[in-house]
Amino acid sequence: MSLQSRLTCLAGCLALVAGAAFAADSDTARLTKDPKNWAMQAGNLSNHRYSELKQITSKNAKNLSVAWTFSTGVLRGHEGGPLVIGDTMYLHSPFPNKVFAIALEDQSIRWKYEPKQDPSVIPVMCCDTVNRGLAYANGKIFLQQADTTLVALDAKTGNELWKVKVGDPKLGETTTNTPHIFKDKVITGISGGEFGVRGRLTAHDINTGKVLWKAFSTGPDNELIVDPNKTMTWTDGKMAPIGVNSSLKTWQGDQWKLGGGTTWGWYSYDPELNTVYYGTGNPSTWNPRQRPGDNKWSMTIFARDLDTGMAKWVYQMTPHDEWDYDGVNEMILADIKVKGKPRKALVHFDRNGFAYTMDRVSGELLVAEKYDPVVNWATHVDMKSGRPQVVAKYSTDKNGPDVNTKGVCPSALGTKDQQPASYSPKTGLFYVPTNHVCMDYEPFQIEYTAGQPYVGSTLSMYAAPNSHGGMGNFIAWDAGTGKMVWSKPERFSVWSGALSTAGDVVFYGTLEGYLKAVDLNGKELWKFKTPSGIIGNVTTWEYKGKQYIGVLSGIGGWAGIGLAAGLTKGTEGLGAVGGYKDLAKYTELGGVLTVFALPER
């Protein structure tokens, strides 16, 4: 054995020993610390969507130009974004949930994976066949398919390693969320709040997919995984135990079994506290008269111990929802000054139009303020009880079924939906894509049938009246004071996730298909029209010394279909999900990832 190979062995053996010692932890958190990678959908465990890269700055962003494009071959809404680890990009598509491993060097496809899924899952997806992207850990790629199958693939080959089903589409259960890798676990949720699904979060072993714990949003204490004496909630201006049967007491009879509280959003994890944070969605049905009570724990922020699933604290934002204000939006963990005092905070921009700042250690409510001034369904959040003060004329419960409650702001889309905001530790501010839309809402009586929509409401949406006429804003928010710093009006709602960078640039996409770069004052520096509307999240990475910005475009109605479909195919490609020619190595038609960089000097 030569000296060199002995040294190699020495290093290798040490690595093995170190690997064994920390076998419990995945490499994901470490990979996110290198800004060249984009190793989680949100960039890091805290949901920051922030990058330390600063080759692209507020001075030169105006020069950004197209570096390359990649088409997924699928013609539906494209949410989420790519992962980048080292020299490889991993990209997903909406149903049928294809996965591509792409070499950054020449954009050739290293491998492609396409699961076989029953298309009958499509009609039970309430809100298009979206998927919010992949996760990576320890040489594995994790995909949460529409039909609720969670699958682990070998990141080198694309071979299936394990599969586990977390729900049943026949009952209206589907999945759209990204899997989240926290420490040694993969955490996933469920969609189907419009189908009377009973929401829950499950934790799986990274190596086998085995379910380690499963925590429901509604039901008896043992299924909620709560301790009536130790799980705390904000009560009369302080934290107090939730008590026994905290959920059961707030439903009529067995309604909790169809209770909703689905979990399709963006979770976060604090390694020091070993706590996972996520929100739950609307209670079923949308007709509030059919489900009297607070409907706990729908519309709730949960803080759970990652290892056991035990809830440390809960906070219900919208007790007895009457407007479909799901509480699933991203939970952003930030260490900021709140009202002058440094706090380990959790910041959450809820669909209900209030931005919440919580103490993420204790669960105390610190700030709850409207982040769009048109929000009118509640006057304010009472800081003692933590409850929103509902305005009677906008109460669809008080007005009752078959009465059209008019002029409610925000609409059921929320002041913001899942499209994640960005937090810049450099500025201490949050950059938030929003809806500026109001609605008329008319609930009606509905019977539950498994696998059928359990909505029970018709609604009509429109741009917020007496404002700028547009349907969206992109805002900067100070979560320490609960005040808006600036607001940039947009013609349409902003449904793209934001990105902020150390180069003092903030990026977001629009429904017209523009990718926009703004400076820290919200001034537009640059925009580029991509082939379709943007509902994906902006991502950045570095490869061979160059910083790139990437974003998926593609919503239902198709712009640039001519380009995407190729001129040889005739019109048959229009709307046909699978009807395309497989071009093996390079581009396919459909949703497009557009990648930008600064031009060579």
Active site residues: 324
In whole angstroms, give the CA distance from residue 174 to residue 80.
Answer: 17
Give the nearer residue to another protein in terms of CB position, either 81 or 410.
410
Give the nearer residue to another protein in terms of CB position, either 365 or 409.
409
Q: Smallest distance from the beta carbon of 513 to another protein, in angstroms?
A: 7
Give the nearer residue to another protein in terms of CB position, either 309 or 472.
472
CA distances from 448 to 148, 254, 294, 307, 320 (A): 22, 12, 20, 35, 19
The answer to whether 30 and 22 have CB atoms below 8 angstroms apart is no
Give the nearer residue to another protein in terms of CB position, either 164 or 375.
375
Among 12, 228, 342, 562, binds another protein (CB under 8 A): 562
- Determine the 3-state secondary structure of 58 from DSSP: coil
Residues 123 to 152 in contact with another protein, rule: CB under 8 A: 125-129
Q: Does 559 bind another protein (CB under 8 A)?
A: yes
Q: Does 65 bind another protein (CB under 8 A)?
A: no
Q: Smallest distance from the beta carbon of 396 to another protein, in angstroms?
A: 16
Q: Binding string to another protein for residues 72 to 111, with x set by CB under 8 A, is what? A: ----xx----------------------------------
Q: Binding string to another protein for residues 278 to 307, with x set by CB under 8 A, is what? A: ------------------------------
Q: Binding string to another protein for residues 507 to 526, with x set by CB under 8 A, is what? A: ----xxxx---------x--
Q: Smallest distance from the beta carbon of 557 to another protein, in angstroms?
A: 4
Q: Smallest distance from the beta carbon of 591 to another protein, in angstroms?
A: 14
Give the nearer residue to another protein in terms of CB position, either 216 or 441.
441
In whole angstroms, give the CA distance from residue 492 to residue 471.
Answer: 5
Q: Which residues, at least 6 apart from 101, have a Cβ–Cβ distance to it below 8 Å? A: 88, 89, 90, 109, 110, 111, 112, 141, 155, 158
Across 311-446, the runs of DSSP E, i.e. the strands, are 311-316, 332-338, 341-349, 354-359, 365-370, 378-381, 388-390, 405-408, 422-424, 429-435, 437-443
Q: Does 565 bind another protein (CB under 8 A)?
A: yes
Q: Does 493 bind another protein (CB under 8 A)?
A: yes
Q: Does 570 bind another protein (CB under 8 A)?
A: yes
Q: Does 470 bind another protein (CB under 8 A)?
A: yes
Q: Smallest distance from the beta carbon of 491 to another protein, in angstroms?
A: 5
Q: Does 445 bind another protein (CB under 8 A)?
A: no
Q: Does 561 bind another protein (CB under 8 A)?
A: yes
Q: Smallest distance from the beta carbon of 157 to another protein, in angstroms?
A: 34
End-to-end CA distance of the chain: 49
**HEC per residue, 280-338:** CCCCCCCCHHHCCCCCCCCCEEEEEECCCCCEEEEEECCCCCCCCCCCCCCCEEEEEEE
Among 65, 108, 389, 460, binds another protein (CB under 8 A): 460
Q: Smallest distance from the beta carbon of 572 to another protein, in angstroms?
A: 10
Q: Which residues, at least 6 apart from 182, have a Cβ–Cβ distance to it below 8 Å? A: 45, 267, 269, 276, 306
**How do beta strands 232-235 and 311-316 pair?**
parallel
Q: How far is CA 408 from its chain centroid?
A: 25
Q: Binding string to another protein for residues 24 to 53, with x set by CB under 8 A, is what? A: ------------------------------
DSSP characters over 146-194: TTSEEEEEETTT--EEEEEE---GGGT-B--SPPEEETTEEEE--B-GG
Nearest CA among 324, 332, 366 for reference residue 349: 332
* Region near another protein per CB under 8 A, out of 302-310, 336-344, 409-417, 444-452: 409-417
**How do beta strands 506-509 and 539-543 pair?**
unpaired
As given in the structure block, the two tokens for residue 208 are 């086998």
Nearest CA among 373, 456, 383 for reference residue 415: 373
Q: Smallest distance from the beta carbon of 323 to another protein, in angstroms?
A: 13
- Determine the 3-state secondary structure of 561 from DSSP: helix
Residues lying near another protein in the complex (CB under 8 A): 76-77, 125-129, 412-413, 417, 437, 459-463, 468-471, 489, 491-493, 495, 511-514, 524, 529, 531, 533, 555-563, 565, 567-571
